[in-house]
Chain A
Amino acid sequence: MSSTILQLLINSLIAGAIYALVASGFSLIYSTNKFIHFAYGATIAFGAYILYLFFNILGLSFGFAAVLTIAFTSFLGYVMNFFVYKQLRRRKTSSIILLIASVGLLILLESLILVLFGAGVKIIGFIKVSEGINIFGAMITPLQIFIIISSILLLVVISIFIKKTKLGKAMRSVSDNKDVSEIVGISSEKIYSLSFVIGSAIAGIAAILIGLEQNLEPTMGTNLMIKGFAAAIIGGIGSVRGAILGAFLLGIAENFGIWYLPSGYKDAIAFILLFIFLLFRPQGILGVKRRSDK
């Protein structure tokens, strides 16, 4: 009995670590740009396929392929911001138009993956699936331990970056009040662009870790996006700390939920939580109400 609960906790931790990566990168972009960048999930999916291209097809070393993947997703984030969002912002369009544009980008990237790589499932298989380690009756593989540790390390780095560095402070300032930041000499366009680059670099890291753990499918991005987004909403959108909290809560809710429900409904748990939070506490657990909300 207690080993079942321990196993569920470990599973929650693994899921939570992956969702936290997705949610924190997404939140970083949302907190400065103030619109929902739906193509973020597709950025991760594209990154995972690029890793597959470099490592499995072209046969580069894994480390080099991983670096190229991160460079690629950052560039993709920059390009999307520069050619689409920046142009739309220049016309002062509402966040709804930006959201619809990002749904367009999501479909564009997913369809590109289908055209370039086909619909079949791909496996990166860098670390062979090995025997799990037995901890008090619960099983965890070395790969999963690696994923949890690297994701926690990355989350710590992100929080320090946002709290302590000059750039992190500039981002928080633009997120808080764009006009005042401009007055004290912070270029908001530059911050928007940089948050896309950094947020998409996190997407690249998430792509590598997820690619090691799961099989690649063209539609994986939408699913990750819903999980990451649900986590961000639960914890408090726009706050990276909230996103991380929400991610682990979502991991726990899903893994303990399927103890009672048929496992097919695992994905539905995230949607239902998302729905409930959107309706009753749209600012999330840690968030504060947006002043501009009408």
Chain B
Amino acid sequence: MIEAYFIHLAILVGIYLILALSLQLALGYTGLINLGHIAFFAVGAYTSALLTLNGVPFIIALLCAGIVAMLFGFLLSIPTNKLQGDYLALATLAFNFVVYAITLNWTSLTRGPHGLPGIPKPLILGINFSSNLKFLLLTIIIVSITYLIIKKIVDSPFGKVLEATRDNELATRILGKNTFKIKSIALTVSAFFAGTAGCLYAHFITYINPSSFSIMQLIPILCIVIIGGMASLRGTIIATIILILLPEPLRFIGFPSSIVGPMRQIIYALILLLILLYKPKGFFGKVEIE
């Protein structure tokens, strides 16, 4: 019983790790204040759920989830490329609301507020991942691939250009780098991984509805990236584990379940405010958000 609970938590930590690492690529390394990350998560979850419910094999659905989210990332990057600071934050936040409104209102596709129940557990090459232990294995594999790719990107010369764009976009452009293209690539890659995280989430919980992807969900990952520190993958990993496990004792103190959800959000919001006030670089961060 207790093992099942820990496996469940470990899978959630894995899904949040993918989300936080991919946001770190856009926000921490490239300096894009993207408040629309949850929208990519939602797009991935819905894509994969709809495909597998219509008989497409899981592995193809997983890839499609990433690719469709990536397309959305690319589409978002075209109009928002020239925006900076709070305008970028707001445009991406509005994008989040637009995706939310579509999942809620395009009822012939998404069944609106009723959501999509009965999403099948993954089946790859005849191996059924219906037990949580096997699902954890799958999650670990995908998290490792995500980590290795993002690590590779940020350590490469291209990663240095990303950081240069964050620190001084004008100077980077003067050095002959096409910063619009660079920012667009960063957002697109970041969206791809958020989409795969959405796919994992949908097949793990087996039920999704629009409120699984409301603005409330943004707070944990934003919190993770800021607490872990901008442009620090190690910080992100540590912060994910701590932050996802931190509110869990609430379940055992005996609060009713209708209170536990908002209490989690209150804890995250308070942590976010405290970090912004007293440790704006986070614990492992190299730079402050500008």
Contacts and interface: CB of A to CB of B under 8 A. Distances in A.
A262 B259 CA distance: 35
B93 to A, nearest CB: 8
B50 interface: no
Given A100-B289, A111-B263, A115-B262, A262 B105 contact: yes
Interface string B14-50: 0000000000000000000101000000000000000
A42 B275 CA distance: 22
B91 A36 contact: no
A161 interface: no
Interface residue tally of chain A, by bracket?
A: 35 or more
A286 B192 CA distance: 39
A294 interface: yes
A221 B262 CA distance: 15
A105 B97 contact: no
B216 A107 contact: yes
Contact of B273 (A94, A104, A219, A226): A104
A101 B105 CA distance: 30
Interface stretch (A83-91, A140-148, A168-176, A194-202): A83-91
A34 to B, nearest CB: 9
A267 B105 CA distance: 10
Contacts, number: 121
A36 B86 contact: yes
A84 B259 CA distance: 25
Given A108-B270, A264-B104, A101 B86 contact: no
**Which one of A35, A229, A264 has the highest number of Cβ atoms from chain B below 10 Å of its Cβ?**
A264
Contact of A96 (B97, B102, B273, B289): B289
A111 B216 CA distance: 9
Nearest to A115: B262
A91 B280 contact: yes
Contacts of A268: 98, 101-102, 105
A282 interface: yes
A114 B277 contact: no
Contact of A101 (B79, B101, B276): B276
A101 B273 contact: yes
A91 B214 CA distance: 32
Contacts of B79: 275, 279
A115 B250 CA distance: 13
Given A107-B216, A264-B105, A94 B290 contact: yes
Interface of B: 33, 35, 79-80, 83-87, 89-91, 94-95, 97-98, 101-102, 104-105, 107, 112, 214-216, 218-219, 222, 226, 258-259, 261-263, 265-266, 268-270, 272-273, 276-277, 280, 288-290
8 contacts: A94-B290, A96-B290, A100-B89, A104-B272, A104-B273, A111-B266, A114-B262, A274-B90
